[in-house]
Amino acid sequence: MNLKSLEKRLTYLTANAIRDYRMVEDGDHIMVCLSGGKDSYAMLEMFRLLQQRAPVRFDITAVNLDQKQPGWPEHILPDYLDSLGVNYRILEQDTYSVVKSVLPEGKTMCSLCSRLRRGALYTAAEEMGMNKIALGHHRDDLVETLFLNLFYGGRLATMPPKLKSNDGKHVVIRPLAYVPEQYLEQYAGHKAFPIIPCNLCGSQPNLKRAEIKRMVQAWEQEDPNRLNVILRSMQNVRPSHLADTDLHDFAGLQGSVAPGMPDPVTGEEDAFAGLQADRVDAS
């Protein structure tokens, strides 16, 4: 796919996600979190293009968190953003040393690193008066997270396209929620983004996410539309056809025969009427 066609497809998918979840509104000031990876570079480009075409007016500020990883090329992002004329801010916080000192050797770093990074971004957003925080997670990330939670967390959950933080102060948006990763890879190649690899988590072997990613990629090779179907399933949830008693009143479901009364067909009484069973823990 050539650059023009690819960019048209990316803006279409991004605009659809923004519209469906009302991610961007008139007067928003959006923190565009820039990691140095292909996804966040593409997200920044989508926002820049949509600023020219969107029916609402919004401001963007690119923000990068310098986590003080050894060998981090500090000049690359400022040079790139200066060349675009984009407003930006580089935050500095040594989360690298914190993660390395707290976690034992061989322990997965992603969870702690993510929490520390999120805290720094939330604080900066509040200080700078930005009401939305945009992250570059794409369709494949959402699908992979769904299966990570399903296989290893015992829950049906993923990264939502739009989320309010626990303290209620921040709204996190994921405008690339509909975009396949392969489009972003192609786009990064066309645009020659100055990619900066993350040596903190990328160097860890046997990550569960990498296992899930291989599984998902194999599925996509078998059926190129499968991940889109899985994404649609996340938008078409039927609590009554799952098993969560907090989401659906299974206990209150009754047929036409009142509990304890003889069935008019069989004449038998409901043997379980009045009994109250504890929830079964199948773990």
Binding residues for [4Fe-4S] cluster, by number, are 110, 113, 201
SS3 31: strand
Contact indicator for 131, 23 with CB cutoff of 8 Å: no
SS3 248: coil
The residue with tokens 């004449």 is: 267
Which parts are annotated binding residues? 110, 113, 201
- Partners of 88 in the β-ladder: 62
- The conformational region for residue 135 under phi > 0 = left, psi -120 to 50 = alpha, else beta, is beta
User: In one letter, which amino acid is 65?
Assistant: L
DSSP per-residue string spanning 178-231? T--HHHHHHHHHHHT------TTTTT-TT-HHHHHHHHHHHHHHH-TTHHHHHH
